Amino acid sequence: MAGDDSFSPPIESRADLIEAMARGCKPQSAWAIGTEHEKHVFHTNPLRPVAYGGPDGIRALLEGIQAETGWHPFYDGDNVIGLRNLEAVGGISLEPGGQFELSGAPQPDLHASAAELAEHMAVSKKVAAPLDIHFLGLGVTPLWSVAEIPAMPKSRYGIMKPYMEKVGTLGTSMMFRSCTVQTNLDFSSEADMVKKLRVAVALQPIATALFANSPFVDGRDSGYLSFRSHIWLNTDDDRTGMLPFAFDEGFGFEQYADYALDVPMYFVIRNGAYVNVAGESFRAFQRGELPQLPGEKPTIKDWEDHLSTIFPEVRLKQFLEMRGADMGDEKSVTALSAFWTGLLYDAVSLEAAYEMIKPWSHAERETLREDVPRLGLMTPLGRTNVYDFAAQAVGIAEAGLVRRNCLNAAGQDETIHLAPLEKTIRLSKSPAKRWLDKFHGEWAGDLTQVFKEAEM
């Protein structure tokens, strides 16, 4: 089923649009950490992408994990397209090209996030091994074109793909051959949301530089350190970007709702099926003027679905989603959550980060976003470069995690999860630069080596 739309109340007023986000406000004692990640799947014998069907396909992988975990399958028509963990929010879903995604349950600390990921990987690899399915921790598939990657049987992607081809040059690359890591964090109030959103948006290119891990595409050096981030610059200008209005005086939930209302729609779910409304206006929907559903007006669920089809660098729903990092190895997944948790969940660190980004102009933020995919840590910023600000941000995050003082069974605090970033700062090289050194050196241009060394 695409989703249950039968019990959602209708939108009665503008306040309902705002409340759909504002009800995410919660006391600090209830803040949690959500980590989502996508990983590429591949066969080794021979080296190729993984199709959905067949005895060694994605469906078999999902069914095997279901048997191991007892998680509940969900379907698009007759096709199982994911698993839900009924004991906690979260589960497994598929991206268009078979990228295997874990949406982690909200966790109380980074140690629990790391444990959740380790368990997921152990189960996934146990089931995948007999199927000759392997997982690759890179931001973009290094070898295969969009046309070479089998599509997953999900109705929403059948709507999105032709629309993407109309509005951008790399939207289908985003869909079929990119992988990201996402950290989801809470806020206590509208003012807290605004401050965190501004810090997160401004620092998103810094995170992109630190986690850059997609230098290859179509079997070659792409000329970018984060080709995944470059893809997003050429996907759909209406629903991506750096949210410049978030830095305007008076910004809050209402202004974000106004922005979302002007983003063209993709679909509406009715009776478990997707109705293609790509390019239509949600404002027209509110007036009952959608050509595909004449006279029908939206529900709260329709609005929440629409909010989930907007892809800025930081997305606001009932929490904040940090969206600027390439997929990496297992430790890097938790490192992203450690970075943002240290920056945003400690009041002293949040203020220090805010003071750091406050002098940056709109033009500087936009230039960072445009240049970082190619130049990474060496991107100019002011009188110095991104590396210096990245080192400062990691230090602020580390101090925040120290103050949180969340200890594991061995008495270690959460700063242990920053180790991948500390290595990047120490070497002055992102993961992408380190892969490029090997590609142009010991691998002698043989990109099949990356499937061995970046396998999770």
CA-to-CA distance for 328 and 326, rounded, in angstroms? Answer: 6
Judged against a pLDDT cut of 60, whether residue 3 lies above it is answered with no
pLDDT in tens, 419-446: 999 999 999 999 999 999 999 999 999 9
Please answer whether residues 189 and 25 qualify as being in contact, where contact means their C-beta atoms are separated by less than 8 angstroms: yes
Q: How many residues does the chain have?
A: 456
Domain spans in the chain, listed from the N-terminal domain onward? 31-263+310-453
Report how far Cα 2 is from the mean position of its chain's Cα atoms.
21
CATH (residue range 31-263+310-453): 3.30.590.20
CA-to-CA distance for 269 and 366, rounded, in angstroms? Answer: 35
Judged against a pLDDT cut of 70, whether residue 5 lies above it is answered with no
**Mean pLDDT for the stretch of residues 312-325:** 98
Judged against a pLDDT cut of 90, whether residue 4 lies above it is answered with no
**What pLDDT, on the 0 to 100 scale, is given for residue 392?**
98
**With bands split at pLDDT 50, 70 and 90, how would you rate the model's confidence at 87?**
confident
Please answer whether residues 227 and 373 qualify as being in contact, where contact means their C-beta atoms are separated by less than 8 angstroms: yes
Question: What percent of the chain is predicted at pLDDT more than 70?
Answer: 99
CA dihedral 146, 275, 36, 452 (to 10 degrees): -20
pLDDT in tens, 49-67: 999 999 999 999 999 999 9
CA-to-CA distance for 123 and 64, rounded, in angstroms? Answer: 9
Contacts with 337 (C-beta within 8 Å, 6 or more apart), sequence order: 33, 35, 110, 113, 183, 417
**With bands split at pLDDT 50, 70 and 90, how would you rate the model's confidence at 264?**
very high
**Mean pLDDT for the stretch of residues 213-228:** 98
Judged against a pLDDT cut of 90, whether residue 291 lies above it is answered with yes
Please answer whether residues 32 and 186 qualify as being in contact, where contact means their C-beta atoms are separated by less than 8 angstroms: yes
DSSP string, 355-381: HHHTT--HHHHHHHHHHHHHHGGG-EE
**C-alpha distance across the termini of the chain, in Å:** 31
DSSP string, 265-326: P-EEEETTEEEE-TT--HHHHHTT--TTSTT---BHHHHHHHHTT-EESEEESSSEEEEEEE
pTM exceeds 0.85, yes or no: yes
**With bands split at pLDDT 50, 70 and 90, how would you rate the model's confidence at 112?**
very high
pLDDT in tens, 332-369: 999 999 999 999 999 999 999 999 999 999 999 999 99
CA-to-CA distance for 365 and 305, rounded, in angstroms? Answer: 29
Judged against a pLDDT cut of 70, whether residue 45 lies above it is answered with yes
